[in-house]
Amino acid sequence: MIKVRRIGHATFDTPDLDIMIEYHSRVTGLVLVARKKGRAFFAARTCHLAVELRSAVHAKCAKLAFEVAPDEDFGDMARHLSALGIKNEVRTDTIPGTSKVLAFADPKGTPIELFKGWRSIGRKEPVNGFGVLKLGHIAFYVNDPKALSDFYARVLGFKVSDWIDDFFVFMRCNADHHTVNFITGPHGAMHHVAFELRDFSHIQNACDLLGQKDIKILGPGHNVAAFHRNPDDQVVEVYAELDQMKDEELGYYDPRSWHRDHPQRPKVWPRGEKSLYVWGPPPTSDFRRTRE
């Protein structure tokens, strides 16, 4: 089994590259580290590549990149994928900070790239906007969340953190409670993308900036978070203090006062708003993407 260690960066197609470059530079606070014809690359404050933008007709999350351990062998990983009937190829790309990737696609058709080793980028560049620490997680609508969760567990070593009924699964590849989410809905569409901030005061500063720029806040979440829409009408979350699942067998999470269960272990939550959002008000129709 391939063992993914963290999410690296995501690639987003956009119909207006210049506007999205402006958004990430002045709102999320990512650092533009390279720009090529029809492409732009952004690093987070931790100096990891976090976002690639590509000029395209329609806006969408077009690709995900995950890091594996430095001692993983591309040949071994490729043979493992081929044995599972998954077409793949090793590519040498011009991505800042990495030189070689193993590329394939998940069952919903999203291209996946695995990389190992990286170099620091954007270290000496000024940071504006939120100044996010890293790309945290991405949620997708899919026809069958169970099938996607099985693929990510079987092929990439992800673990299930929680289910909400049978329609929403949270999956992790390290101690962070979730790295990818799959929710029943229009197949392949992105529900939201999330970036990590430092702490609650960082969230407050981010909300102040959204207010100054007249960007509507959609509502807080279970962990300390706030949501808004970017210029491509995609839901963006900024969060802090995400649950850390240190020991699944013992049920040890970093303690949070709003947890309902002690000890905390992966579970299936019943359908309903109270199970979705213990801390803060229920999500708005805008967050659920059901606005008129």
CATH domain 134-276 topology: 2,3-Dihydroxybiphenyl 1,2-Dioxygenase; domain 1 (3.10.180)
Q: How confident is the model at residue 166 (pLDDT cuts 50, 70, 90)?
A: confident
Mean pLDDT score, 171-190: 91
* Nearest alpha carbon to residue 40 among 115, 112, 157, 122: 122
Half-sphere exposure for 41 (CA within 13 Å, toward CB): 18
* pLDDT of 279 above 60: no
Q: Give the pLDDT score at 262.
A: 64
pLDDT tens digits, 95-146 = 888 889 999 999 999 999 999 988 888 887 888 899 999 999 999 999 999 9
Mean pLDDT of 229-253: 81
Q: Where in the chain is the domain with CATH 3.10.180.10?
A: 4-115, 134-276
Percent with pLDDT over 90 in the chain = 60
Structure tokens at 109: 């058709």
Q: Which CATH class is domain 4-115?
A: alpha beta
Helix (H, G, I), strand (E, B) or coil at 158: coil
The mean per-residue pLDDT over the stretch 252-269 comes to 61
The tally of CA atoms less than 13 A away on the side-chain side of residue 32 is 17
Say if CB 164 and CB 202 are below 8 A apart. no
Q: Rounded to two decimals, what is the model's pTM?
A: 0.86
Beta strands in the chain (DSSP E): 4-14, 31-36, 39-43, 49-55, 60-68, 89-92, 100-105, 111-115, 134-142, 159-164, 168-172, 180-184, 190-196, 224-229, 235-240, 245-247, 252-253, 268-269
Q: How far is it, in rounded angstroms, from Cα 42 to Cα 24?
A: 8
Residue 127 confidence (pLDDT): 87
Can you tell me the distance from the alpha carbon of 244 to that of 195, in angstroms, rounded to the nearest whole number? 16
- Please give the pLDDT value at position 264: 67
Mean pLDDT of 14-25: 97
DSSP-H helix ranges across the chain: 17-23, 74-83, 145-156, 200-212, 273-276
On the question of pLDDT at 1 being above 50, the answer is yes
Mean pLDDT of 264-280: 60
